[in-house]
Every structure is written in structure tokens, then in C-alpha cells.
Amino acid sequence: MSAALHDPVRYAITHETEYAYGAEVTHAHQLLHLTPRQLPSQTCASHSIVIDPEPTRQGQFMDAFGNPIVRAELDKPHRQLNVTASMSVEVWDREVIDARASLQWHKVRDQFKYAARPRSPQEIEASVYRMESPHVRLKRSIVEFSRECFARNEPILVCAETLLTKLHRELKYAPNETHIGTSVTELLETRRGVCQDFAHLMIACFRVHGLAARYVSGYLRTLPTAGKEKLVGADASHAWVSVYAPPFGWVDLDPTNGVRVGTDHITLAWGRDFSDVSPLRGVIVGGGTHQLAVRVTVSEAS
């Protein structure tokens, strides 16, 4: 599948995170998902992470989902932690896919059923994203909410786009009304949340039907292209969903904006849900209470 259909869109991105602690932190281990993935539709041309205070030890690794990560250890007392990730990324158009050419959704589901046959690497990878995870619990209410989107014999991407439209139509983007612990069942009741909530609910809708879907974190273009409205969720970290849709593999959908993912989206990492790809997560000794400030700037580069 060729992604380079046109010239790429070039982005300069800065992601700043600041923790101010109420008491001294004497020791800390931090895990950073702040390095863009290299994809057929995306290339990271340059990348840097500056941590203040400077870590005692720092290294680059790969997590279980193939995401590049940075691990840092700080053993000097500090009351403030600043992390600045700067990156230059090129994003190409993705190949246009005919939704009706995808495999029927129940046949995709049946591929995951136990059978004494060899499994392809794609099926093995996808099976990781079919089960419950910390932020995606599978409840009967999710089945009832999404049932109408999965008509018998429909191609999986037709079902996915029907679900995409339903979520975009019935959910209200409402910053500061939810938190990391908000469940998908709570979102169903209030119908109000942010991109993280929308993504978790969409993933749950796929998984309750035996399908594989993963959580994708990244960024959105800050300024819209000519003739387009600004997408909801820009100027901050963003989240969307990738569904396993043979024969096309993984196809990305943005339920917050009701669109397929394209050159407005820059991919950082993916996992089962937000808990696998939190931009900055750590264990600290001391610190007491803390205040968090995050600033994201996404701009087109010449």
C-alpha cells in the first residue's frame, strides 16, 4: 500500500509538560511516550526531549506495542519537573479505501475464533486489541448502544463508518467535564466528554462485537487548511481509534471529529487504551500534591 500520493505536510511540534510539586521529590522514574512512530504515511525527521532537572540516567527503548519510549531516572531532590519534546514530522495522504471492499465484519470476528490453523502475524497482533483493558470495560449497555451499527453481512468498514457517524452525532465534546477515571458506561449516560473518552467508547463498541481496535495518541493540525473548519482537539494531545479491517489492515478513524484520519493527524503511539500510551507517567518518592500544566503547539513548517 503506497501512502505517498502527494507531497507531505510538514509539521513542527512542541509538547511541554510541567509538574509543580507541593513537597520535594527525592527520587523519580519517568516513562515518556513522546516520540512519533515511523509509519508508511509518516516520517519523523528530527526529535529531541529536554528534561529539567537533568536525569541521572536516561535511555531509549521500545515498549510491548512497538512504540519508541524514553525512560528517565532522577535521584536529585526537585520540586518541579519540566519536559519539552520538540519534533519535526512529515505526514503523507493515506491511500483512499473503499469501505465496501473490506471483509464482512462477522467474518473478521470469526477469524479470531479458535481453530487448529496457523495464524498470520497480523492476526496475532490484532488479537491483543480484542479484550477488555483498564479503560475499556465491555458491558451490555455498549452492545445495545452499538448494535444497530453492525448489521449482518455488512463490510467491517461500513459498520465502522456508521459507528463513527453515530458517535459524532450523539456525543458532545465537553472539555473539563470528565477525567482519566471516567468509564465508557458513564460516558454513555452523559454523552459528554473529550477525545480520550470518545476513543475509549468506540474501541469498546468494536470489542463487544469480537473485533480488534486500538487506541492511538497523537496531535492535530492547529490551523485548518483553506476551506476547512478547525478540528476539535487541536492545540492539545489528541486521541483516535484504529480498527483491524482486512484486507486493508489497520484503518484509523477520529470519532471526535467524525472523519477518517489523514494529514491533519500526527501519530505518537498506540496501545489497548490510554493507560498504555500516557505521554508522561512515572513513580515518585515524595512530592505530596502536584499541579500539572501541558502546552502543545502544532504548526506547519515550510
pLDDT of residue 185: 95
pLDDT of residue 231: 61
Looking at the chain, which residues constitute the CATH 3.10.620.30 domain(s)? 99-277
Mean pLDDT of 249-264: 96
Residue located via cell numbers 444497530: 148
pLDDT of residue 88: 97
Q: How confident is the model at residue 3 (pLDDT cuts 50, 70, 90)?
A: very low
pLDDT of residue 189: 95
Looking at the chain, which residues constitute the CATH 2.60.40.2250 domain(s)? 9-92+278-300
Q: What is the mean pLDDT of the chain?
A: 92
For 51-60, 83-92, 113-122, 293-302, which range has the lowest pLDDT when averaged over its residues?
113-122
pLDDT of residue 227: 66
pLDDT at 1 over 60: no
Q: How confident is the model at residue 4 (pLDDT cuts 50, 70, 90)?
A: very low
Domain 9-92+278-300 indexed as CATH 2.60.40.2250: yes
Q: Please give the CATH topology (third level) of the domain spanning 99-277.
A: C8orf32 fold (3.10.620)
pLDDT at 18 over 50: yes
* 228 against 204, higher pLDDT: 204
